[in-house]
C-alpha cells in the first residue's frame, strides 16, 4: 500500500493508505468512521471500457451452501467440500471477556469509550476474516467456472430460527452470492439462481425420485426407487447444477452439460436479485 496525502474540504490534508491505485475518473468520495475509530474513504470511479460479453461456454458448477460445510460444489464429475470457518466462534471467548469489561465501566467515562472501541476491534477482526474467506472462495470458483448455480435462499426468513440465527448470520451466504455475482459479471460469466423451493436435497440425482420428508439431522439417505445412497449435501449440489443447466436450456441458452446428465423437467426459474454496486469501490484508510 502507498502512503499519500489527500485533501478533504472540512479538515484539510490527512495522511492515508491507499489499498490499490485509482483508475478512471473519480465521481464521488464517501468518508466514514467505523466503531473502532478508523476513518475510511470509499472512492467511486468511472472508467472507459467495453463490458464483457456474457458467455455460458465453459464449466458449470452447482453450489450448495450449508453450516457444517460452508459450500459443497459439483461440476458433474468432481465434488468439493469447503469447511465453515466459524469466524465468530473463534473470537467468542475473547469477545465475551471484552464485553464483560465494558459492562463494568461507568457510563460516559473515557474508560468506557475506550472499552467500546476494544469490543469494536474484535468485531472488526471477525468481519475482515469473514470477508477475506468469502472473497478468496468466490474468486476461486469464478476463475475455475463460467457458470455458477446457487439456490435463491431466504436468509432473512432463516435467521428467525433462534437456534440457527447466530450461525446463519456468521457464514455470510448473501454476501458470498453477491461476490459471485459481480465477479462473474466482470468476467463475462453467469450466475444462475434456482427457486428456493426446488427440492434439491429430497430429489434423487440418479433417478429423480423425490422423497416426501428429509429432516435436517438426516445427512445420508437411500433412494427407495433405485437404491442409490446419497450424501445429503453432495446430492443437493448435483441437483442444483442440473437444474441450473435446465433453466439455461429452457431460456434457449447453449450450455455444455459435460460430466452430468441434464434433467428434462422439474424446477422453476428465479429472478437474479443481486446488485454489485459499491462492491468495487476503492477504499482508503485515513488518520487525522
User: What is the rounded CA–CA span in Å between residue 287 and residue 249?
Assistant: 53
Q: Among all residues, which ones are annotated catalytic?
A: 64, 151, 233
Cα–Cα separations (whole angstroms), residue 254 to 147, 241, 248, 268, 285: 12, 15, 7, 18, 45
User: ∠ CA(98), CA(173), CA(232), 5° rounding?
Assistant: 115
User: What is the rounded CA–CA span in Å between residue 76 and residue 78?
Assistant: 6
Coil/strand/helix, residue 75: coil
* Cα Rg, the chain, nearest whole Å: 23
The 3-state DSSP composition of the chain as helix, strand, coil percent (nearest 5) reads 35, 25, 40
76-112: b or e for each residue (b if 16 or more CB lie within 10 Å)?
beebbbbebbebbeebeeebeebeeebeeeeeeeeee
Can you say how many angstroms the Cα of residue 203 is from the centroid of all Cα atoms in its chain?
25
User: What is the rounded CA–CA span in Å between residue 62 and residue 191?
Assistant: 10
Amino acid at each position: 500500500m502507498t502512503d499519500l496525502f489527500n485533501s478533504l474540504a472540512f479538515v484539510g490534508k490527512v495522511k492515508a493508505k491507499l489499498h490499490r491505485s485509482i483508475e478512471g475518473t473519480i465521481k464521488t468520495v464517501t468518508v466514514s468512521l467505523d466503531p473502532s475509530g478508523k476513518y475510511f474513504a470509499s472512492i467511486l470511479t468511472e472508467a472507459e471500457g467495453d463490458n464483457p460479453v456474457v458467455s455460458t461456454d465453459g464449466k458449470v458448477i452447482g453450489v450448495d451452501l450449508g453450516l457444517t460445510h460452508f459450500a459443497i460444489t459439483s461440476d458433474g464429475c468432481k465434488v468439493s467440500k469447503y469447511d465453515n470457518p466459524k469466524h465468530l466462534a473463534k473470537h467468542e471467548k475473547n469477545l465475551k471477556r471484552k464485553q464483560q469489561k465494558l459492562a463494568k465501566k461507568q457510563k460516559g467515562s473515557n474508560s468506557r469509550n475506550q472499552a467500546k472501541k476494544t469490543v469494536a476491534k474484535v468485531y472488526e477482526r471477525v468481519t475482515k476474516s469473514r470477508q477475506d474467506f468469502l472473497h478468496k472462495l468466490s474468486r476461486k470458483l469464478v476463475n475455475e467456472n463460467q457458470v455458477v448455480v446457487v439456490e435463491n435462499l431466504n436468509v432473512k426468513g432463516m435467521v428467525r430460527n433462534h437456534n440457527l440465527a447466530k450461525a446463519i448470520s456468521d457464514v455470510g451466504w448473501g454476501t458470498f452470492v453477491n461476490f459471485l455475482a459481480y465477479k462473474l459479471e466482470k468476467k463475462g460469466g453467469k450466475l444462475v439462481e434456482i427457486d428456493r423451493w426446488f427440492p434439491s436435497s429430497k430429489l434423487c440425482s440418479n433417478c429423480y425420485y423425490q422423497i416426501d420428508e428429509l429432516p435436517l439431522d438426516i445427512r445420508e439417505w437411500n433412494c427407495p426407487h433405485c437404491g442409490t445412497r446419497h450424501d445429503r449435501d453432495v446430492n443437493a449440489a448435483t441437483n442444483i447444477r442440473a437444474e441450473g443447466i435446465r433453466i439455461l436450456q429452457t431460456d434457449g441458452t447453449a450450455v455444455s452439460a459435460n460430466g452430468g446428465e441434464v434433467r428434462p423437467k422439474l424446477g422453476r426459474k428465479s429472478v437474479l436479485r443481486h446488485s454489485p454496486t459499491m462492491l468495487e469501490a476503492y477504499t482508503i484508510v485515513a488518520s487525522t
